Amino acid sequence: MTTRRGWTRLIAVAATVAVAACTPAPRAEVPRPSAPQPQPPAVEAAQAQPRTVACKGSTASLRPDGTELTKLPRGGVIDQIRQRGLRVGVSQTAGRLSSRNLRTGAVEGLEADLAIEIARAIYPDRDPAKVPDLIQYVAMPTRDRFLALNTAENGKYPPATNVAKVDLIIADASVTCERVDTFGVRFSAPYLQTRQGLLTYRGTLGDWDPRTGITGRTVCAGAGTINLDRITKLGGIAVPVVDTTDCLVQLQRHQVDAVSTDDVILEGFRDQDPNTEIFPGVVDTVDVAAVAIANRDEDLVRLVNAVLERMRGQGMTRLYDKWFSGRAMVMPPADYEGR
Amino acid sequence: MAWRSVVAAHFRRTEGKLTLIVAAVLAAAGVAGLVGVLSIGQRADLLTDLAERRGAVNAAAGEIYRALADADATSFSVVLVSGEQVAVQQQAFRDDIVAAAAALDYATKAVPEVASTSRINELTSAARRAYLANGALTTAERLAVLSSLLPVYTGLVEAGWVYSSRVDPVGTSYLNEASLLARETMLELAKDLRDATPPAGVDSFPWFAVTVGLAMVLLLVMIQRYLARRTRRRFNVGMVAATVLTLVAFGWLAASSVVAAANAATSAELSRTHLVPLTEIRAEARNLDGAQARALIFPLVGDLDELTTQVNRIDGKLTAVRATPLDTEAQYALDGAAVVVEQWRAAIARDFSATRPGYGEIAKAITGSEELKVDLDHVISTASRQVDQSIVDARSALAGTDVGVAVLMAVAAAAAVGGLWPRIAEYR
């Protein structure tokens, strides 16, 4: 028995050795890579440089004299617009402010309604129901918004030379002195009061309470916005994107910890993703948003201000209620030159 | 020490010298035959690899490139059409994704290497992504990276559709990011997956083998001159036969190598001048479809310039292909394509000018036709077949040559020995 078992064992060992000798090199392991993260369009363009000198321009607007809406200014930019149509730069991806219904092409939101009001003042002789067709909307990714205005300052930027020009930018543009200086913008009277807020998941993983600050957290905001600078000042890691809505994609794909921008835009984000929550009051400052116009088009600035002054009170309240119902909103006071 | 002088004395005699010559001829014939067989074998191996492994990868690369370009265009079309068309377009997109996955699978079967988990993760990491399209990647790495990007891409597009159908603007951002991933990374990776440059040695003249053959002939001629002096016979039939057989063997080797090289060069040239540019034109046409849809959905500053540049690029490539020699059928198809490009240019100028038609009308025009698809698909598949056929021709030109050379050299050696043996016998 012992001998037979010995032989069996010997044969088994020999077979194993033979098999091992014939076996090719061990096969490569089955790879188990992790899912690549998609990336938003790269931020690489010129933006307002941090300033070392004090701001020279004025954020004050031009006072309408009250005749714009009864007697259209002739021979200038208003005449050109009446001939070729009104070009309006909108964000197009900000829910409640301006977003495009892709199937119909219609742009909807508070800013789109504002554009229609302005267009009706420019075309008082047209059928009010057909006036929206005279508006050509151009999407303004957050970063490049102000380059689309035809100003002497923008002529200095190479990218601005091959940029289609718009007459008005209504894209939640905060009024800042830097923008006046850098891009040659003239802001209208403000139509919206905003505060920079924070949007993150409804329930973070426990190691972070968004109310306690953003130190060391990656926070996304549109490139070239004041929001981005404030994130850095508050100790957060600023993640710039070309268009603010790319931030929501980044948050949903867990590539950033939070998004920080104007509360009105954040509300639009929360509408689209109920798994998010807004934390207001990250920043104490109150911003105002106004229509941005090229500083050489003074007639247009006055006309827009006339429209806004006409809407102050009832007209604007109706718009606020339509798009931000349940939110207390007041049209900010205007700051006109030569008071 | 005595045996040494005996051996030396033996080789000083003519009989000994002739024995040495026989040995030399046998050795030379062996070496020449081996060199000839190896030369043919190496070329044949390269061509087999070109036809099978690289051929498979190239064919799959063309399909991945096509499918991704079509998918990119369709991802935008879906949000511009309505009704049942939405489901039809979505299905077309999914078909293209599955086609791309199947082509990746097909190509992977021809590439035995496996990229490691850490290498794939490194390549697809955010830090490396910007360089991914231009990086030097192995075929296995390219395939692995494409395989891991494909589901991510599909997820972005499907999310974009759902958000867009709910009129949520973030849908546009998803579609934009997806398109960016497809155009700037995946299509570039797929484009470089194709490698049609013939490997070194496939299209060159077999200088070394032919030199060895000529040296063999020279050796045989010199031996015959020596024999003529020694034996006072002008010709040795066996040696003459060996010389002729060697000439035939290496003549055959040279001729078949030249034919194979010419076929391989034709294949590479066809690939470079027809197949690659036509595949690119077709994909760029789909990119332009997508860009038009994007410009309508999300009009940006400078759209008209950008779209016109793209049409011009397609036009330039098409003109270059049309300037090369083409068969009638291809000529006809490409003339048709040129007309389509002109109409396209005009349509873009109209749809993205200040006096543009309404949104719905442009959307209909953009989603209504897939320009250049019909015109080019047939020409591309013909060109692809021709490229493959040339490689097959090259391979078959070499068929039997290795065996032929070996047999001829063996017979030549036998003939030489046969011719020399009676002379050695005379001295015994």
Domain holding A225: CATH number? 3.40.190.10
Asked if A297 and A187 sit in the same domain, the reply is yes
In a domain, residue A115? The reply is: yes
Residue B159 pLDDT more than 90? yes
Pick from A31, A41, A84: which is nearest to B114 by CB?
A31
CA dist., res. B29 & res. A221, Å (int) = 79
B127/B27: higher pLDDT: B27
Asked if A309 and A223 sit in the same domain, the reply is no
Backbone φ, ψ for residue A238 (5° rounding):
-75, 130
**Of A48-62, A219-233, B26-40, B352-366, minimum mean pLDDT range:** A48-62
**Pairing assessment for the beta strands A237-241 and A218-222 based on DSSP bridges:** parallel
CA dist., res. A45 & res. A240, Å (int) = 12
Asked if A89 and A156 sit in the same domain, the reply is yes
Asked if A112 and A173 sit in the same domain, the reply is yes
Asked if A254 and A125 sit in the same domain, the reply is no
User: Could you give the number of structural domains in chain A?
Assistant: 2
CA dist., res. B292 & res. B385, Å (int) = 32
Does B324 touch chain A if contact means CB atoms closer than 8 Å?
Answer: no
* Predicted pLDDT at B247: 92
Shortest Cα distance, chain B CAs vs residue A313, angstroms = 29
Does B83 touch chain A if contact means CB atoms closer than 8 Å?
Answer: no
Pick from A85, A101, A163: which is nearest to B301 by CB?
A163
Shortest Cα distance, chain B CAs vs residue A10, angstroms = 36
Residues B40, B405 contacting (CB under 8 angstroms): yes
Residue A103 pLDDT more than 80? no
User: What is the residue whose two structure tokens read 């891991």?
Assistant: B148
Asked if A213 and A90 sit in the same domain, the reply is no
**Of A65-74, A286-295, B282-291, B388-397, minimum mean pLDDT range:** A65-74
Identify which of A17-31, A276-290, B60-74 has the greatest average pLDDT: B60-74
* Predicted pLDDT at A58: 77
User: A230 lies in which domain range?
Assistant: 195-279
B343/A28: higher pLDDT: B343
Pick from B79, B116, B303: which is nearest to A31 by CB?
B116
Q: What is the DSSP letter of A124?
A: T
Mutating which of A32, A101, A103, A247 best tests the B interface, going by the most B Cβ atoms within 10 A? Answer: A103
Pick from A95, A136, A165: which is nearest to B168 by CB?
A95
Asked if A235 and A316 sit in the same domain, the reply is no
In a domain, residue A269? The reply is: yes
Helix, strand, coil proportions of chain A in percent (round to 5)? Answer: 35, 20, 45
Query: B170 and A93: CB-CB below 8 Å?
Result: yes
Asked if A125 and A256 sit in the same domain, the reply is no
Asked if A106 and A127 sit in the same domain, the reply is yes
Query: A31 and B144: CB-CB below 8 Å?
Result: yes
Does B177 touch chain A if contact means CB atoms closer than 8 Å?
Answer: yes
Q: Mutual orientation of helices B373-397 and B14-49 as an angle, nearest 10°?
A: 160
Distance of CA A337 to the CA centre of its chain: 29
List the beta bridge partners of residue A186.
A293
Residues of B within 8 A of A136 (CB-CB) are: 354, 356
Pick from B124, B170, B354: which is nearest to A248 by CB?
B170
CA dist., res. A259 & res. A199, Å (int) = 5
Residue A46 pLDDT more than 60? no
In a domain, residue A235? The reply is: yes
Quote the mean pLDDT of chain B: 86
- pLDDT-based confidence at residue B301 (cuts at 50, 70, 90): low
Query: B126 and A39: CB-CB below 8 Å?
Result: yes
CA dist., res. B326 & res. B321, Å (int) = 9
CA dist., res. B249 & res. B409, Å (int) = 7
**Helices of type H across chain A:** 2-22, 77-84, 110-122, 158-161, 177-183, 226-233, 245-252, 263-272, 298-311, 314-323
CA dist., res. B211 & res. B183, Å (int) = 51
- pLDDT-based confidence at residue B100 (cuts at 50, 70, 90): very high
In a domain, residue A149? The reply is: yes
Q: Report the percent of chain B where pLDDT is more than 90.
A: 27
* Predicted pLDDT at A160: 47
Asked if A151 and A263 sit in the same domain, the reply is no
ipTM: 0.81
- pLDDT-based confidence at residue B101 (cuts at 50, 70, 90): very high
Query: B298 and A162: CB-CB below 8 Å?
Result: no
Report the SS3 class of residue A114.
Answer: helix
Residue A161 pLDDT more than 50? no
In a domain, residue A236? The reply is: yes
Asked if A152 and A180 sit in the same domain, the reply is yes
Q: How many Cβ contacts (< 8 angstroms) between chains A and B?
A: 138
CA dist., res. B198 & res. B211, Å (int) = 24
Asked if A185 and A304 sit in the same domain, the reply is yes
Mean pLDDT of A1-20: 64
Pick from B114, B152, B356: which is nearest to A35 by CB?
B152
> What are the structural domain ranges in chain B?
2-426
Does B174 touch chain A if contact means CB atoms closer than 8 Å?
Answer: yes
Of A304, A320, A313, which is closest to residue A62 (Cα–Cα)? A304
Does B178 touch chain A if contact means CB atoms closer than 8 Å?
Answer: yes
In a domain, residue A47? The reply is: no
Question: pLDDT tens across B32-79, in order?
Answer: 999 999 999 888 888 888 888 888 888 898 899 889 999 998 998 888
In a domain, residue A1? The reply is: no
CA dist., res. B376 & res. B381, Å (int) = 9
Mean pLDDT of A58-64: 80
Q: What's the Cα-to-Cα distance from B374 to each of B68, B243, B283, B316, B381, rounded to whole Å?
A: 17, 59, 13, 19, 12
Residue A110 tokens read as 């508070």
Does B298 touch chain A if contact means CB atoms closer than 8 Å?
Answer: yes
